Amino acid sequence: MPDTSNGIVPYQNARRAGRKWLGDHSKDKYGGGLAVLERELDGVETMGEISLGVHEIALKKIVGTYTSARADAFAGNFMPLYDEGSEFAFKWRSLYSHHLKDGITDPIKVYEYMGLFYVIEGNKRVSVMNYVGAYSISADITRIVPKYDPNDDNVRIYYEIMEYNPRLFAFSDMWFSHPGAFTALIAWARNFAERTPALKGLEPHEWLPKAYRDFSLEYQRAGFRDIDMTTGDAFMIYLGVYEFPYDISLEELGERVRACEPQFRQVNDRVPPYIVENGESSPESGRGILGIGSRRAHAVFVYNATPETSYWTRSHELGRLDMERFFDGRVTTKAVYSVSEQEAHDRLREIIEEEKPDVLFTVNSAYAHAAWQMTLEHPEVLILNCGHTLPGMMLHTYYCKLYEPAFVLGAIAGSYTKSDIIGIVDMPQRATDSTYVVNAFAQGARLVNRNITVKRCKPRVNFSGDEDRLCRKMLAERGADVILSQYPTYGSVNLKPCDDLYAMLASVGPNGRIKEYLAAPAIDWGVMYRRIMSDYLGSAFERVREHCEAFPSIYFWLGLKSGMAKIYAVDEVIGTHASRLAHILTTALTSSHDVHPFIGPMRDRGGNMRIDRYSVPSLPEIQFMNWTSDIVDEELRAGEEPTGGDGGSGIEQYFPGVPVLEEAHEPPAARDEQRD
């Protein structure tokens, strides 16, 4: 309906909004009023001015005026404050009527300083455009360059954006919480453009600003006003889930942005993960199995291979079938095989639509990203990924505490070796490149043998018998006479070949050929699946959700105590004393909080203290352990020369799914809302 009040009613509404803002923000830095750049720059050393020409700028980035002459005419939201009968009010109403008829096209004049704008000329135009809900306004911009200060994060962020091109204004809408984020964004954008035919050869400033603006509009429309993060931070989180919003409709982008709300909130609220460490039903599930009642569930398991071709699939299938038998009709299951990582997102969506599962198990760490997307898009389905997860990701995961059996096997190896040199054939690929199995194996060996030396070899391909033999040969040539191979190795031992074995400890000859099997660790995935489904049937997940502002990621990490991890020792080979030692350590790890594979002190190969004396790392710290213990004196790779040095300094990410510079350590912090 057209305005017939000659602008009186709109002015009254605008003034009312201004006075409310003034009252609500009276204790803010500016007392609810506008910032004044002259005051901001009083005593501040700057490096000069750069004329940037006329550009569209986001109204939310205009935070004040250059001088104090008009500062008292507006509240901090640029709504007017003067009486309705004033000359100012008459001019505001005239400008409003002009905008309704012809639109405001003349550019205002502003100073830009530290990513924010201060009006030199055109305050009423900004006020009217804010009142009508416009996103941007045309402005003739002059940049005031601050003096560089390496100790000021805001200045560092500003220079990082500006130095892309000091005279380019493509990224004016962006602001972040951390130095390094913009540089990471540009690197991410260049990589994306290289992989996108329509963008190949284009620089980020030629296409990224539109993608960011589209996201910003949809983020603003979604109304996440109570989420205290910059839009730039939210954009980085979105990229981790979906990559750049290029060549998609605004409707689809809006749906994706709204789907990401739980992820935004989890990162913003910094909700810690909910960690489950034993096989018994949690208190949240009522009274465990007895509290399940009549609730039923349908669970789907998704694999990247078939049981006939994959040890991993077979072992999980044993667990699935065991769990289904255990619940005796209350849980129905279905297995979907041979889903590739590339098709995971589409296939998971199809499975959810066709099967309508209550619980979806994605039984491969390569599915983590697709499972993350589906968790956000389909919150009605409980989705879990088998493997490690990244901090801050809205993703439930489950895995085995492999470091516990590795610790016991290390002790067996340390007591059995005659050369005081033992080896481990490590897995070539893990989601986090974690070293906790290697370090636990080394700690167990040193516990019983002060002279022990551990050598590590990584094959190039997972589950390759040829690579395993090559690694054992390389380790044996360097003196190892006992080796732990993390592969399904079968032979004539006092155990039937079974699919729950995932490694084998054996004595070897000088050429690496196996002489005798000593012990084998096993994983009973049925324990894990029974635990998860009992919690689901007992409504534990709903109860956790009710008690958390942002539903946290749940990590199921079960080990020896739950019965999920087991160790089978060949007693007649390792001897009575070594067998007793393995039993004592296993019992201690399952019954005492004072026994742990990673009780400090522990140093890495560079001599750096990693775990202090008597300290124990948390489960997430263990999960992302990517340094190698000083007990490991040599690292080999199949077919390559040995390497020296340490394994790294830890995973440091603060925007889930998006790589950033190593210099930024802290998680996203809240910023002054005017920054955004």
The answer, yes or no, to whether residue 316 has pLDDT greater than 70, is yes
Provide the terminal-to-terminal Cα distance of the chain, rounded to the nearest Å: 32
The answer, yes or no, to whether residue 608 has pLDDT greater than 50, is yes
Give the bridge partners for 36, in sequence order.
65
The answer, yes or no, to whether residue 666 has pLDDT greater than 50, is no
In the chain, % of residues over pLDDT 70: 87
Q: How confident is the model at residue 5, as a pLDDT?
A: 54
Residue among 116, 122, 8 nearest 60 (CA)? 116
The answer, yes or no, to whether residue 652 has pLDDT greater than 60, is no
Measured between alpha carbons, how far is 210 from 45 in angstroms, rounded to an integer? Answer: 34
Q: How confident is the model at residue 377, as a pLDDT?
A: 93
The answer, yes or no, to whether residue 62 has pLDDT greater than 80, is yes
Give me the helices (H) in 149-302, please. Answer: 153-162, 181-195, 208-222, 231-242, 250-259, 261-269
Decide if 534 contacts 289 (C-beta within 8 A).
Answer: yes
Measured between alpha carbons, how far is 167 from 623 in angstroms, rounded to an integer? Answer: 45
Decide if 330 contacts 296 (C-beta within 8 A).
Answer: yes
Q: How confident is the model at residue 456, as a pLDDT?
A: 93
Domain 1-147 matching CATH 3.90.1170.50: the answer reads no
Q: How confident is the model at residue 283, as a pLDDT?
A: 40
Q: How confident is the model at residue 295, as a pLDDT?
A: 82
Q: Kindly tell me the sign of the dihedral angle through the C-alpha atoms of 38, 44, 46, 48.
A: positive
The answer, yes or no, to whether residue 298 has pLDDT greater than 60, is yes
- 353 CB-near residues (< 8 Å, 6+ apart): none
The answer, yes or no, to whether residue 668 has pLDDT greater than 50, is no
Q: How confident is the model at residue 286, as a pLDDT?
A: 39
The answer, yes or no, to whether residue 292 has pLDDT greater than 70, is no
Q: How confident is the model at residue 566, as a pLDDT?
A: 92
The answer, yes or no, to whether residue 176 has pLDDT greater than 50, is yes
- 370 CB-near residues (< 8 Å, 6+ apart): 341, 344, 345, 348, 362
Average of per-residue pLDDT across 416-441: 84
> Tens digits of per-residue pLDDT, 220-267?
899 887 888 999 999 999 999 999 998 899 999 999 999 999 889 888
Residue 479, phi then psi, degrees to nearest 5? 105, -5
Q: How confident is the model at residue 274, as a pLDDT?
A: 83
The answer, yes or no, to whether residue 78 has pLDDT greater than 90, is yes
Q: Which amino acid is it at 541?
A: F
> Tens digits of per-residue pLDDT, 116-152?
999 999 999 999 999 999 989 999 999 999 999 999 9
The answer, yes or no, to whether residue 288 has pLDDT greater than 50, is no
Q: How confident is the model at residue 346, as a pLDDT?
A: 94
All CATH 3.40.50.2300 domain ranges of the chain, comma separated, are: 298-386+531-553, 403-524+564-637
DSSP at 506: E
| Among 105-119, 205-219, 291-305, 565-579, the least confident range | 291-305
Residue 537, phi then psi, degrees to nearest 5? -65, -30
Average of per-residue pLDDT across 173-193: 92
Q: How confident is the model at residue 547, as a pLDDT?
A: 67
Q: What is the CATH number of domain 403-524+564-637?
A: 3.40.50.2300
All CATH 3.90.1530.10 domain ranges of the chain, comma separated, are: 1-147
CATH C-level class of 298-386+531-553: alpha beta
Q: How confident is the model at residue 463, as a pLDDT?
A: 62
The answer, yes or no, to whether residue 461 has pLDDT greater than 80, is no
Q: How confident is the model at residue 279, as a pLDDT?
A: 63
Can you give the pTM of this predicted structure? 0.79
In the predicted model, what is the mean pLDDT of the chain? 86
Q: Which amino acid is it at 642?
A: P
